[in-house]
Structure 1
Amino acid sequence: MSRAEEQFFALLQSGLWGTPVDTSLFCRDTDWPAILKIAVMQTVSGIVFDGISGLSSELQPPATIMRRLYQTVIRIEQSHELFNERLTRMIALLQSGDVHPILLKGQGVARNYPNPVRRQCGDIDLYIGKKDYKRACELALGRGIVSNGILESHKHFHFDWDGVKIELHRVVEKLPDPFKNKRFQCWTQYHLQKNKLNVWNLNNTEVLLPPANFDALYIFNHAFHHFISDGIGCRQLCDWVMYLHRFHAQIDRQELMKDLNDFRLLRAWQIFGYIAVHQLGLTKEEFPFYTDKFREASQKIILRDILLLGNFGHYDPKWKTRPPGYLSGKLHNFRMKNRRALKLFSIIGENVSLYYIYYLVIGMQQIVNDKFNRH
């Protein structure tokens, strides 16, 4: 790990936990542009800013860099407030049609951070369920909320509402193995029953949230899904870490172990768990089923991939060579997934093989939907 990467993780941990930064790492000249570039790639600039704020003034970046960073943080905070406003308005709209959505990830996990407004927003995911899905989509369309960029995938109806991406989910997720997926759908229905949900009061609006055992696994599975596909940034792992920290006492570990084994996720869980503990600062006691037996794979393959490719793999230089055409672009993505599958096969072969086939099938279905079934 480079010096800038070590410094980045020291600042990130300080921002996550409110702990002092190891100042010995900053006793010499510090390459602040390199550190802040990593923070941007990993979409954790706001959290790193909190870590930097804990340094003495002589160790902090020059004033010009601090001003630019502060402007970035202000934009992150404004985005957080905008997302909360959109979330409450969308929930009120759906409830007016007797639809009661469940918030997945996003603003719901942001509240687990010591400073929620510093977590960078992505989108708003609302689980509707198959029964009310069509009515929810009609409500969004009927009230004129949908402005442009409407698309529908096998999982959700997604659209842009004046700069905020919203997804209305008919299903939470689909697993690539049809047998495991059938079990996962039953597992989802079991956990997302009304009497098991948590309630978060946001701006006088009741926001429904999943229970602890559901989110502990789901937040990880979602990040892992994206990691196999294109890559992830530290923000996705920070969401998982902060959730495990806040709800570790409520998680039924025996049940979680059974679920991880049922969905063949235990090995991946433990590989990423090494990063959760050693790079992000979660205690071993708060991480279920910690082991260091995957240390080498975790550091040399997984962590290196995260640092190189950044948030959802957006910094992979191969994206720059993607051709502009729709079908030629899809073919380019297919080739990239081929290379990524080969790279990851040695460490998480079973998961990669299944997801590869899954993405191939879903990708073909998406092409058909985009071309012929667009709303």
Structure 2
Amino acid sequence: MNNQLKGIFFQLLRMGLWGEGKLTLTQSLTSDDWSTIRRYAINHTVEGIIYDSFPFLEEQQLPPQALRLKWAVRMDQIERHNEKMNEVIAEQFVLLSDKGIHPILQKGQGVASYYRIPNHRISGDIDWCFEADGYTKARNFLKNNHPNFQDTAGFSLEYDWKGIHIEHHKRTFDFRSPLKKNYLRKLLLDYKYKQETVKINGISVRLLAPELQLLQVNVHILKHLITYGIGLRQFCDSARLYYSVSTQIDPTALGYIYQKTGILRWIHLLHQILVEYLGLPKSSLPFPYPESIDADWMLEEVWYSGNFGVHDDRFENSKKSKHFAMPDSPKRLWQNFKRYVKYAPEEAIAFPLVHTYSKFLGKDKD
């Protein structure tokens, strides 16, 4: 995609994300242009957000009718899938709560509730974390009632429930450095009184406190940047979350959390992208970022890598190995280590060590 079309893509993304604006064009978009825009929207799992920009376009600016119809069919599928996910979330929350287990919904449909049109956010799976010993209790419940789950790397487990993929996480936050473990545990206790709920199919489902939701969503982005990359959907999550909870958070406290966890320098880069590319008002940020920083290089990496790095055309014909998830993995991981070690050194250094441990030694065994 050339720079001009890329600029149009981000115009559409901002319009769909915030529900305002007009599309500025120097020349009309062709059918091929729209096909390219749609392909990149799929790569970044933001086709629902781009679709939400269509009501703000002039008639002659809209995609060809055949492509609009195909897009509308896809939106119907996304909406149906989200409705099914909501049914499962409500069912599981009640089921686990009745067993004395206290689940907390992570990311996904919890974050979707902060969007203009929640059912247009694409959710891959349902993520639960737990209070106290809830992870162990939930695992024991699954052993007796749904034994086809798999323990996975990253201190998690996964299974399917009524056709929806579910993940349980021992760790609430995607920090790799073990040096932060005690501080993160203290954060969960300190902010327990600020936990929120979201109504899903009539059930009040528990979410983290707004400050901790931001920490969770943002460090999840960093985790994937350090590995194979991540798409624009997660940046949209961060933008909508900041916009929605900015008046509820303590900005000084949040800044201290970012500093204490060692990611503040990277957070400044993230904030610049949210403002300058996604249109988040600066007033929604908890604190200003230095005007001297340049996050364009990070946006370029995000743009090329796509959702979790699986659509990166730069490595399409690269060597694959049974020991790694992606083509040319050693090269990609080394490049990302060098990019991010100065912005989040503990996380970049800890990643290969903790990931290896969690993969081979950190899985639960019965």
The answer, yes or no, to whether TM exceeds 0.5 is: yes
User: CA, structure 1 residues 331+186, in 2 after alignment: closer, same or farther (shift >3 Å)?
Assistant: farther
Tell whether the 8 Å contact from 2:48 to 2:122 is kept in structure 1 after alignment: yes
Cα deviation, 1:12-53, whole Å, max 9, x if unaligned, reads: 111111103224356454711111111111110011011023
1:48 and 2:11 are equivalent in the alignment: no
In the alignment, which residue of structure 2 is the partner of 1:349?
Answer: 342
User: CA, structure 1 residues 162+366, in 2 after alignment: closer, same or farther (shift >3 Å)?
Assistant: farther
User: CA, structure 1 residues 151+25, in 2 after alignment: closer, same or farther (shift >3 Å)?
Assistant: farther
In the alignment, which residue of structure 1 is the partner of 2:14?
Answer: 13
In the alignment, which residue of structure 2 is the partner of 1:94?
Answer: 96
1:269 is displaced (CA, Å) by 1.1
Distance in 1 between residues matched to 2:243 and 2:180, nearest whole Å: 28
In the alignment, which residue of structure 2 is the partner of 1:188?
Answer: 188
Task: Give the partner amino acid of 2:271.
Answer: G
User: CA, structure 1 residues 153+349, in 2 after alignment: closer, same or farther (shift >3 Å)?
Assistant: same
In the alignment, which residue of structure 2 is the partner of 1:358?
Answer: 350
User: CA, structure 1 residues 73+155, in 2 after alignment: closer, same or farther (shift >3 Å)?
Assistant: same
In the alignment, which residue of structure 2 is the partner of 1:282?
Answer: 280
In the alignment, which residue of structure 2 is the partner of 1:308?
Answer: 304
In the alignment, which residue of structure 2 is the partner of 1:112?
Answer: 114
Q: How does 1:202-351 map to 2 (within 5 A)?
A: 202-291=200-289, 293-296=291-294, 298-299=295-296, 301-317=297-313, 318=315, 321=318, 323=320, 325=322, 327=323, 333-342=329-338, 344-345=339-340, 348-351=341-344
Query: Larger deviation: 41-50 or 21-30?
Result: 21-30
Query: Larger deviation: 215-224 or 78-87?
Result: 215-224
User: CA, structure 1 residues 160+335, in 2 after alignment: closer, same or farther (shift >3 Å)?
Assistant: farther
Tell whether the 8 Å contact from 1:109 to 1:239 is kept in structure 2 after alignment: yes
1:173 and 2:135 are equivalent in the alignment: no
3-state SS of paired residue (1:236)? helix
Query: Larger deviation: 134-143 or 329-338?
Result: 329-338
3-state SS of paired residue (1:201)? strand
Tell whether the 8 Å contact from 1:198 to 1:209 is kept in structure 2 after alignment: yes
TM-score (norm 2): 0.90
1:187 is displaced (CA, Å) by 1.5
Tell whether the 8 Å contact from 2:266 to 2:343 is kept in structure 1 after alignment: no
User: CA, structure 1 residues 140+204, in 2 after alignment: closer, same or farther (shift >3 Å)?
Assistant: farther
Tell whether the 8 Å contact from 2:104 to 2:130 is kept in structure 1 after alignment: yes
User: CA, structure 1 residues 328+291, in 2 after alignment: closer, same or farther (shift >3 Å)?
Assistant: closer
TM-score (norm 1): 0.88
User: CA, structure 1 residues 176+86, in 2 after alignment: closer, same or farther (shift >3 Å)?
Assistant: same
In the alignment, which residue of structure 2 is the partner of 1:24?
Answer: 25
In the alignment, which residue of structure 2 is the partner of 1:164?
Answer: 164
3-state SS of paired residue (1:24)? coil
3-state SS of paired residue (1:137)? helix
Cα deviation, 1:260-316, whole Å, max 9, x if unaligned, reads: 2111222211111111111111111111223352553x11x1110111111111112
Task: Give the partner amino acid of 1:51.
Answer: S
Distance in 1 between residues matched to 2:139 and 2:316, nearest whole Å: 32
User: CA, structure 1 residues 252+277, in 2 after alignment: closer, same or farther (shift >3 Å)?
Assistant: same
Task: Give the partner amino acid of 2:105.
Answer: L
3-state SS of paired residue (2:199)? strand
User: CA, structure 1 residues 109+57, in 2 after alignment: closer, same or farther (shift >3 Å)?
Assistant: same
Task: Give the partner amino acid of 2:246.
Answer: H
Tell whether the 8 Å contact from 2:16 to 2:53 is kept in structure 1 after alignment: yes
Tell whether the 8 Å contact from 1:21 to 1:51 is kept in structure 2 after alignment: no
1:367 is displaced (CA, Å) by 3.8
Task: Give the partner amino acid of 2:308.
Answer: F
Listed as ranges, the gaps of 5+ residues in structure 2 are: none
Tell whether the 8 Å contact from 2:48 to 2:75 is kept in structure 1 after alignment: yes
In the alignment, which residue of structure 1 is the partner of 2:123?
Answer: 121
Distance in 1 between residues matched to 2:49 and 2:327, nearest whole Å: 37
Distance in 2 between residues matched to 1:23 and 1:360, nearest whole Å: 45
Equivalent pairs, count: 363
Task: Give the partner amino acid of 1:56.
Answer: E
Distance in 1 between residues matched to 2:355 and 2:316, nearest whole Å: 17
How many percent identity over aligned positions? 25
1:331 is displaced (CA, Å) by 10
1:72 and 2:68 are equivalent in the alignment: no
Listed as ranges, the gaps of 5+ residues in structure 1 are: none
Distance in 1 between residues matched to 2:175 and 2:14, nearest whole Å: 32
1:175 is displaced (CA, Å) by 2.8
Task: Give the partner amino acid of 1:259.
Answer: I
Cα deviation, 1:143-181, whole Å, max 9, x if unaligned, reads: 33x656x12334322223344221222221253333333
Distance in 2 between residues matched to 1:311 and 1:189, nearest whole Å: 33
Query: Larger deviation: 124-133 or 200-209?
Result: 124-133
2:136 maps to which of 134, 144, 147 = 134
User: CA, structure 1 residues 311+294, in 2 after alignment: closer, same or farther (shift >3 Å)?
Assistant: farther
User: CA, structure 1 residues 257+292, in 2 after alignment: closer, same or farther (shift >3 Å)?
Assistant: closer
